Chain A
């Protein structure tokens, strides 16, 4: 190895491109899968909480306690049962994303203008139709905000999966650290931040596209 140990090195990226691309795609697919699963669980749960306000307090309360449990501890609790590897990381990531999403969707649904809901009711909408056609679209900005927070957090959290051997870019950070290879550590870190920003931007654009009625009303 070169005696100088630069933080940024094109040579490193060039020589290890296959490895970097593999970890990056692993990281990306892990994040997206976790978010999709978490969203699929969070939506019906949030709807249930919305129909039964008493349940909402319970769900939000429990989730905030659960959210305090550190990721490393969660992996430590899961690994004995789900083993070393992708499943364990995925379950952990889904859990944290679920909590963030749930909180935002419930808050979003609660924040819908009562007059709008009333108008929907006046049109003869039933409870389900009201939720689907009136409340959810109105809560959409809050849902997107939740998705953005959950996604960015998940990208960062996935690196901790390294303790069960499946950390995506975290794998590179960790290996670089133990080999004393600065370029590997820095490249993996920068790619993580870049991935988070790209996914965040994607969701931001999705949010704008899906809420054409808000265009022009805010920056």
Chain B
């Protein structure tokens, strides 16, 4: 109970949210940085890193998945990528990148999280494209559509629900993985948990954990809702579970 009270107190204190001197502070070189003692500052950094990681992964995996799906080759590749990535601990990649030349802290985190964001995007884009009915492609060809027109005008719209599912899975996963950044001196909301655990401020650790859990579940719900809203009624396939 004492811990719960501590957590509640910490969460309801203004300075936990705003930091000692605001969510933005000036670094040693005068540049503006996100404060590490503010929930808002850490939260903004958290979302920025997640967005950057998913953006990076999408820039790579989306064209590749769409292309492979269009030519209907490389199914084994996507499965292998998905399976192998599961066996690699995120922490291993994080410490590896942070020790190596990728750079200390947040940059290493973004690259590591992007690596894990690739498989869902790749697999779903591929599955979405290969799932387009061959008759539909034939009909498009019969109408005299060029290859490019078929991709953009026929296959892409039909594959959109699965592509969106892939992006959403990656985004949720990224938001849930960023907390580990705290372990390699990066930012994000994990900093609160890590600080609480390592200094035995368990109330704060609990509060940070609740924040991180709420953010992950919230982002999942939000993206799920967005996805439903922007899917044309004819293409709605229910809550897809392809991950």
Contact = CB atoms under 8 A, between A and B. Distances in A.
Given A152-B86, A159-B91, A76 B99 contact: no
A160 interface: yes
Contacts of B216: 68-70, 73
Interface in A122-160: 149, 152-153, 155-160
Nearest to A164: B197
A169 to B, nearest CB: 8
| Residue of A149, A160, A167 most packed against chain B (CB within 10 A) | A160
Given A80-B3, A174-B183, A163 B194 contact: yes
Contacts of A153: 86
Contacts of A186: 96
A70 B220 contact: no
B87 to A, nearest CB: 4
B95 A185 contact: yes
Contact of A197 (B87, B89, B90, B198): B87
Contacts of B95: 173-174, 176-177, 185, 189
Nearest to B4: A80
B205 A156 contact: no
Contacts of B87: 152, 155-156, 192-193, 196-197, 200
A134 to B, nearest CB: 26
Given A70-B216, A185-B96, A76 B208 contact: yes
Interface residues of B, number: 41
Given A174-B183, A177-B99, A177-B184, A76 B196 contact: yes
Contacts of A197: 87
Interface in A51-74: 64-65, 68-70, 72-74
A200 B102 CA distance: 31
Interface in A26-44: none
Interface string B205-236: 11011101100110010000000000000000
Nearest to B188: A72
B213 to A, nearest CB: 4
Given A72-B194, A80-B202, A182-B100, A162 B91 contact: yes
Q: Is the interface of B mostly helix, strand, loop or mixed?
A: helix
A196 B85 CA distance: 11
Contact of B217 (A65, A156, A188, A189): A65
B143 interface: no
Contact of A189 (B92, B180, B183): B92
A79 B96 contact: no
A80 B206 contact: yes
Nearest to B190: A72
A77 interface: yes
Contacts of A152: 86-87
A162 B89 CA distance: 12
A75 interface: yes
Contacts of B194: 72, 163
Nearest to B217: A68
A59 B104 CA distance: 41
Given A70-B176, A72-B193, A72-B209, A163 B217 contact: no
B106 interface: no
B44 to A, nearest CB: 18
27 contacts: A68-B216, A70-B176, A70-B177, A70-B213, A72-B180, A72-B182, A72-B190, A72-B194, A75-B197, A76-B196, A76-B205, A76-B206, A77-B210, A152-B86, A153-B86, A157-B89, A160-B89, A160-B90, A163-B183, A163-B194, A173-B92, A174-B183, A180-B99, A185-B99, A189-B95, A192-B88, A197-B87
Interface of B: 3, 86-93, 95-96, 98-100, 172, 176-177, 179-180, 182-184, 190, 193-194, 196-198, 202-203, 205-206, 208-210, 212-213, 216-217, 220, 241
Given A70-B176, A73-B209, A193-B89, 17 more contacts: A69-B216, A69-B217, A70-B179, A72-B182, A72-B209, A74-B209, A76-B193, A79-B197, A155-B87, A157-B89, A159-B92, A173-B91, A173-B92, A185-B96, A189-B92, A192-B87, A193-B88
